[in-house]
Chains A and B, each alone.
Chain A
Amino acid sequence: MQNKKIKFAIGSFLIVGAIGFLITSSISSTSKFYFTVDELVASNQVSPGTGLKVKGNVVQGSIARNPEDYLDVAFSIEFKNAKLPVRYNGVTPDMFKDGNEVVVEGTMDRQGVFHANTLMTSCPSKYEAEKEAGKSHPGNIPMDGGPQPTQPAPDFSSKTTI
């Protein structure tokens, strides 16, 4: 009787333990630091080759495409006066434009250039709305009655990675 209970306890413990082990080991092997550009520049704990996710705005006029290879793009992102040069090879999303907010994932090289393997953009209106929401009553945009037809609906941001 007691023996059986112990058996079940061990069996359940093994399953739970295995799942727990999978979770902890996978977290440490797949997690990425998430910085804004200024945090990354200020941080000294990042060595070249560490997986990183960085958020910033595309610097005006910085987008340069390689004339030989259309998919090869160089640009810079900035946040709070800190700048970061980025290289990316691949299709750029529709919202990838000067001034827009992007999130890049990849690694730094020794020269301080960020090599992105994914490039995501978010709809800028969404972030403005989020900032406002903290301050005042949300959903209050047109109280003066002025139509703002060019502003896109804020629900979805475009997305290009798996």
Chain B
Amino acid sequence: MNELGEFALMMALATALYGIAGYVMAIRQNRVDLYFSADRTPLIVWGCVMVSSVALWKAFITDDFSLQYVWAYSNRDLDIFYKISSFWGGQKGSLLFWTLLLTTYMMVVHVQNRKRDLRVVPIAMVVMLVITLFFLFLLNFSTKPFEVIPVPPEDGRGLNPLLQNYWMVIHPPTLYLGYVGFTVPFAFAVAALLTRNLDDGWIRMTRKWTLISWFFLCMGNLFGAQWAYVELGWGGYWAWDPVENAAFMPLMVATAYLHSVMIQEKKDMMKVWNMALILLTYVMTIFGTFITRSGLIQSVHTFDEATLGYFFLAFLGVIVLFCVGLILKRLPLLKSKNELDSFLSRESSFLFNNLVLLGIAFATFWGTIFPIISEAVRGVKITVGPPFYNQVNVPIGLVLLALIGIGPIIAWRRATWSNLKKNFAKPVLAGVVGGAVLFPMVPLTDKAEILSYVAFVLCIFVMATILIEFWKGAAARQSLHQESVPASYSNLVWKNKRRYGGYIVHIGVVFIFAGIAGSQAYSVDIEKHLKIGEKITLGGYDLTLEKVIWIKANETKERLIAQLAVEKDGVRIWTGKPEKEFYKGQNQPVSEVDLRSTLKEDLYLILADYRGEQFDPVTNTMATISDGEATIKAHVMPMVAWIWMGGWTIALGTVVAAWPDRAEARRRLERLKRMEGVFAPAQQE
């Protein structure tokens, strides 16, 4: 089976090569027979990669430790659930997983677009095949997942305990689905440039793909934050770590792209800009992969392989040069006929939103690569940490938040004083009233608290603009169509999925802003070494250490649990049980935090340290150690739950916006009918 997996990867490589050559020759020489033959390759490549992946999965499930990769990331005792997800636990498997997703996307695009615009689709297939070829090259010659150990060991090394939780199953695939997904709009954009089909056809064809990839990238970031928060136990959800930045930058650029394409669709403007943005988004995903894979920049996530980094760097360089060259060459064709009319208009608010999003992406990029640049230029390594990112991105983020409110309600083309007054009077009033109500309630003693206050006021303003939009639209339906109140709201959303789906996403973003503002400015924490019966007080909570327990959970795991009574105003409201887990064969324990989450605030407990010598790890029975001691770290973080709530709201909004729309599908079909017969094979079928 392992040989089959290896062979299938080789076959995939050969087929991809053939496919690329076949498509190119077929189009150049207009050879229909060759076209049909080449047009089968995307499916075959997908099939081969699938066979190879199944083989690796089988090796994991059947404990085949003759494979170096299986040995390194699994063992006999591992839960089946984790055996399946160990597939992407390390470098080699995650590259194969990446390739599997890429070819699956390619296969779906192929099936979906077979009979559509034949000027662009075959070239887009070539682009996707070339990208697939790069990954297949790595899998065949550099990072081989089917590398064998001549004398197979009895048991594997096992999966890092930090990876043994359900986030491991959710977070990496989600992020990869996002990363890899942008290959589709990228491929179509390049194809449109190459074939000079620079109307908005490629944008419409890939709109859903962009939206879905954006969604997965967004969720991947949020899941990563939540994983860090509930599992890694350092009392935060975002650390501006290089790899977090690597996932964050393409998200910002893609968000800019999602917005600016609307201007091209509606006004036929910003063609160069959109092209540049989608190409940049893809470049950012490859740059992110490069950071993660190369170990060039120190990070908690780094895979430990340097050679692979060079391949990615070379790939990145080729893509950047190719994209820049291609755009420059097609620049005359990308000139748009229309111009921005006024400074105060929806068009220009889109432009500013784009600049701001790119500003955030650039600041993040600069901070990430700054150590390398300073070392190269000045010979000393200078690093920047979270203070840098916060200092830069918080003010820019606040401007962005304001624009979320302004953009959707400012008039197209040119806003006049009277329509500004009409659209903005109520939301601004809501912001002012909200700000006045909040003013006595929140402390305003330092810069962080003042910025958070500003964020809250802006959140109220933006929320008001969105809710008024809903209310206005529903009221119009009620009077026009005599609909009931609930029917008017649901029809409003359902008949304008893109627009109101977008608004729902905006609501989610507002929640996230509020959650970040609340948790960054008003968090308090304390760390203290406690004996049994001793107490700490934090943020209105009284925490008393009740006991420290040692439990042998199973053959491979032992747990040390600190039990704390949590009281508020003298009433016991909760029992906190932060713990440390000790895994057989791992020389470091894993902290398991305990938290009590409410919309108001999270109480977050970490068992940070213990007097190890006072405990007897040989005692396999449950025992209360009366003179136990433990160092407890406690955080009270307001409104963290709003961030996760925002994530679910974004998910809901995206589903609405991406839901198939019959009216839209009909319009697209009519467009395609008009273009019939552009390429010979279309009529042959």
Interface residues of A (CB under 8 A from B): 4, 7-8, 11-12, 15-16, 19, 22-23, 26-27, 29-35, 53, 69-71, 90-92, 94-95, 105, 122-123, 126, 129-130, 133-134, 137-139, 141-162
| 17 intermolecular pairs with C-beta atoms under 8 Å apart | A11-B343, A12-B351, A19-B355, A22-B392, A22-B396, A27-B384, A31-B384, A91-B606, A91-B608, A122-B298, A126-B302, A133-B295, A146-B153, A150-B587, A155-B163, A160-B234, A162-B235
- Starting from the known contacts A70-B609, A94-B588, 7 additional A-B residue pairs (CB-CB under 8 Å) come to A8-B351, A22-B391, A70-B631, A130-B306, A139-B69, A144-B151, A156-B160
Residue of B at shortest CB range from A43?
B380
The interface residues of chain A lying within 8 Å CB-to-CB of B304 are: 126, 129-130, 133, 138, 154
Q: A30 to nearest B CB, angstroms?
A: 4
The interface residues of chain B lying within 8 Å CB-to-CB of A15 are: 352, 355-356, 359
One of B142-150, B490-498, B657-665 contacting the partner:
B142-150
Is B608 in contact with A16, judged by CB distance below 8 angstroms?
A: no
Q: Which of B91, B160, B370, B587 has the most CB of A within 10 A?
A: B587
Q: How many residues of B contact A (CB 8 A)?
A: 88
**8 Å CB interface, B481-521 against A:** none
Residue interface bits B346-373, CB-to-A below 8 A is 1, else 0: 0010011001100100110011001100
The interface residues of chain B lying within 8 Å CB-to-CB of A155 are: 89-90, 160, 162-163, 301, 303
Is A133 in contact with B589, judged by CB distance below 8 angstroms?
A: no
Is B527 in contact with A145, judged by CB distance below 8 angstroms?
A: no
Question: Known contacts A143-B149, A162-B239; is A91 also within 8 Å of B631 by CB?
Answer: yes
Q: For the complex, give the distance between the alpha carbons of A123 and B596 in Å.
A: 30
The interface residues of chain B lying within 8 Å CB-to-CB of A151 are: 157
**B395 interfacial by beta-carbon distance below 8 Å:** yes
Residue of B at shortest CB range from A35?
B381
Is B305 in contact with A138, judged by CB distance below 8 angstroms?
A: yes
The interface residues of chain A lying within 8 Å CB-to-CB of B533 are: none
**B71 interfacial by beta-carbon distance below 8 Å:** yes
**B387 interfacial by beta-carbon distance below 8 Å:** yes
Is B340 in contact with A8, judged by CB distance below 8 angstroms?
A: yes
Which one of B152, B382, B529 contacts A70 once the chains associate, using CB atoms below 8 Å? B529
**B300 interfacial by beta-carbon distance below 8 Å:** yes
**8 Å CB interface, B215-263 against A:** 232, 234-236, 239
Is A34 in contact with B381, judged by CB distance below 8 angstroms?
A: yes
Which one of B68, B158, B235, B302 contacts A153 once the chains associate, using CB atoms below 8 Å? B158
Q: For the complex, give the distance between the alpha carbons of A68 and B160 in Å.
A: 36
**B585 interfacial by beta-carbon distance below 8 Å:** yes
Q: For the complex, give the distance between the alpha carbons of A22 and B367 in Å.
A: 12
The interface residues of chain B lying within 8 Å CB-to-CB of A126 are: 302, 304
Q: For the complex, give the distance between the alpha carbons of A148 and B75 in Å.
A: 12
Is A149 in contact with B585, judged by CB distance below 8 angstroms?
A: yes
Give the 5 A-B CB pairs with smallest separation, nearest first: A145-B151, A147-B153, A70-B529, A91-B608, A19-B359
Is A19 in contact with B234, judged by CB distance below 8 angstroms?
A: no
Which one of A26, A71, A150 contacts B388 once the chains associate, using CB atoms below 8 Å? A26
Q: For the complex, give the distance between the alpha carbons of A105 and B384 in Å.
A: 12
Is B147 in contact with A139, judged by CB distance below 8 angstroms?
A: yes
Q: A32 to nearest B CB, angstroms?
A: 6
Q: A144 to nearest B CB, angstroms?
A: 8
The interface residues of chain A lying within 8 Å CB-to-CB of B528 are: 71
Question: Known contacts A34-B383, A147-B155, A154-B304; is A27 also within 8 Å of B370 by CB?
Answer: yes
Which one of B143, B342, B588 contacts A95 once the chains associate, using CB atoms below 8 Å? B588
The interface residues of chain B lying within 8 Å CB-to-CB of A147 are: 71, 153-155
Q: B654 to nearest A CB, angstroms?
A: 28
Question: Known contacts A22-B395, A138-B305; is A31 also within 8 Å of B388 by CB?
Answer: yes
Is A30 in contact with B352, judged by CB distance below 8 angstroms?
A: no
Q: For the complex, give the distance between the alpha carbons of A32 and B383 in Å.
A: 5
The interface residues of chain A lying within 8 Å CB-to-CB of B356 are: 15, 19
**B307 interfacial by beta-carbon distance below 8 Å:** yes
Is B586 in contact with A152, judged by CB distance below 8 angstroms?
A: yes
Residue of B at shortest CB range from A135?
B306
The interface residues of chain A lying within 8 Å CB-to-CB of B301 are: 155-156
Residue of B at shortest CB range from A26?
B391
Residue of B at shortest CB range from A1?
B339
Q: For the complex, give the distance between the alpha carbons of A90 and B385 in Å.
A: 19
Q: A95 to nearest B CB, angstroms?
A: 5
The interface residues of chain B lying within 8 Å CB-to-CB of A105 are: 385
Is B340 in contact with A148, judged by CB distance below 8 angstroms?
A: no
Q: For the complex, give the distance between the alpha carbons of A151 and B588 in Å.
A: 11
Q: For the complex, give the distance between the alpha carbons of A152 and B589 in Å.
A: 12
Residue of A at shortest CB range from B66?
A145
Is A16 in contact with B588, judged by CB distance below 8 angstroms?
A: no
Residue of B at shortest CB range from A152?
B586
Is A32 in contact with B385, judged by CB distance below 8 angstroms?
A: yes
Q: For the complex, give the distance between the alpha carbons of A133 and B306 in Å.
A: 6
Q: B91 to nearest A CB, angstroms?
A: 7
The interface residues of chain B lying within 8 Å CB-to-CB of A157 are: 300
Question: Known contacts A29-B391, A152-B586; is A12 also within 8 Å of B355 by CB?
Answer: yes
Q: A155 to nearest B CB, angstroms?
A: 6
Q: A157 to nearest B CB, angstroms?
A: 6
